A and B are shown apart, each in its own frame.
Chain A
Amino acid sequence: MAATRRITININGVSTSHEVEPRLLLVHYIRDMVELTGTHVGCETSVCGACTVMLNGAAIKSCTVLAVQADGEEVLTIEGLAQGEQLHPLQEAFWECHGLQCGYCTPGMILSAYQLLLRLPRPTEEEIRHGIEGNLCRCTGYQHIVDAVQQAAGQMRARR
């Protein structure tokens, strides 16, 4: 076994630190060591987007990043999006617009949408579809997800 490393990653504002093998994937660090299981594992091959989290403000697929690559950095997972009991506008909009059915893709889908709205506060339908291209949903047919993102965009602009 290769030498382990002690790494420190700030997740949702909380500093976490563990001794890890370099080959440990960030998604497994988040789920198995820090025990935040909202981030899902779908394909493990960089395709489905279920494992999407924010790393230093950019949406990434955490099955394709090593935990050691995130040493010293900041991660935001789905658990960090709500403010206490107050859901994030994206979470509310997914609920209201039926943007989810089984919910497996939802944490990753919401973080991709979050990234999109940070970069484009007023996205067109085409821009939303382009923005969530890296996230697969087997249930909804995407239309309700697009509606949810559009609704959340309005909410987020109103709050600013």
Chain B
Amino acid sequence: MIPASFDYLTPTTLGEAVEALVSHGENARVIAGGHSLLPMMKLRLARPGVLVDLSKIPDLSGIQQENGQITIGALTTHYEIESSDLLKDKCPLLPQTARVIGDAQVRNRGTIGGSLAHADPAADIPASILALGGELRVRGPDSDRWIQAEDFFLGLMTTALKPDEILTKIRIPVLSDRVGTSYQKVAQKASGFAIVGVAVHLGMDGGLCAEIGVGVTGLGSKPYRARGVEEGLRNRRLEPSVIEAASSQVAQDVDPLEDIHASAEFRAHLARLYTARAIVEAAKMAER
């Protein structure tokens, strides 16, 4: 299985990369880890005439903490996220999520930026970035802007990125110490992609849920933040009845996907169940 012919460019600055996208228009595609794009090209589901490889551009990968924020370069691999001591300490939700993506080889190549830009409805990372209230930095010919994760995902494999824009980094607020996080997914056996995945980060204060973010993937055509669940938990004691009632809101206003792996009804059921599990696990961690 071999992709159709294409030209291959290796720009060494972001400016050059954007220029290449502008001059080749819709015919060009950025390649990061290539672990979504190359499989699609082999199947001729994608047929770009020009590939713009970002890997030779310095400073697009790495994880840093700066003034109350954690910044992650778009080319940072899933493995780098999974194994980062800084993230394990300050933002454990991301390593918890990265650890269950595909397999070791996929995690060595696949990148956080590629996963967000590709916006597969079953990808794991988007759920966690949504739960954390992350922001995405986007660079184009006449733009260099932050986009809220919630405004980034528009629909099935569709994002707010324009064809000549490049995602350069992701920014996440550093969480307070009394925070617990959990990512729970039902994986599709062969690929590992989420049939349903739920990311939760919550903070407790005086026995009440003071801070809450819930991101969901796999259920609908795009990942989303489950505001209904969050409202059901905010400023409450996390008793079983409260968790159950809040989790029952997860599929509210969502049209669940249906495929050979799960019917719409079963997906919605799994989403409710795994939302409750993620809340319970995150609460346990917050209480430690």
- The residues of A with any CB-CB pair to B shorter than 8 Å are 1-3, 5, 21-25, 28, 44-47, 49, 52, 58-61, 63-66, 68-69, 112, 115-116, 119, 130-135
Contacts and interface: CB of A to CB of B under 8 A. Distances in A.
Interface of B: 1-8, 31, 34-35, 38-39, 42, 51, 53, 55, 79, 83, 102-106, 108-109, 190-192
B34 A116 contact: no
Contacts of A22: 5-8, 51
B102 A134 contact: yes
Contact of B8 (A2, A44, A52): A2
Contacts of A131: 104
B7 A69 contact: no
Interface centre among B5, B55, B103 (most CB of A within 10 A): B103
Contacts of A132: 104
A115 B109 CA distance: 14
Contacts of B104: 59, 112, 115-116, 130-134
A127 B74 CA distance: 28
A60 B50 CA distance: 24
A69 B109 CA distance: 11
Given A22-B51, A25-B2, A66-B34, A134 B42 contact: no
Contacts of B109: 58, 60-61, 64-65
Nearest to A46: B39
A45 B103 contact: no
Given A44-B42, A45-B39, A69-B55, A134 B2 contact: no
B235 to A, nearest CB: 38
A60 B6 contact: no
A137 B92 CA distance: 33
Nearest to B35: A64
Contacts of A135: 103
Nearest to A23: B3
B237 to A, nearest CB: 34
Contact of B5 (A2, A46, A61): A2
A10 to B, nearest CB: 17
A132 B192 CA distance: 13
Given A22-B51, A52-B105, A115-B104, A46 B35 contact: yes
B242 to A, nearest CB: 33
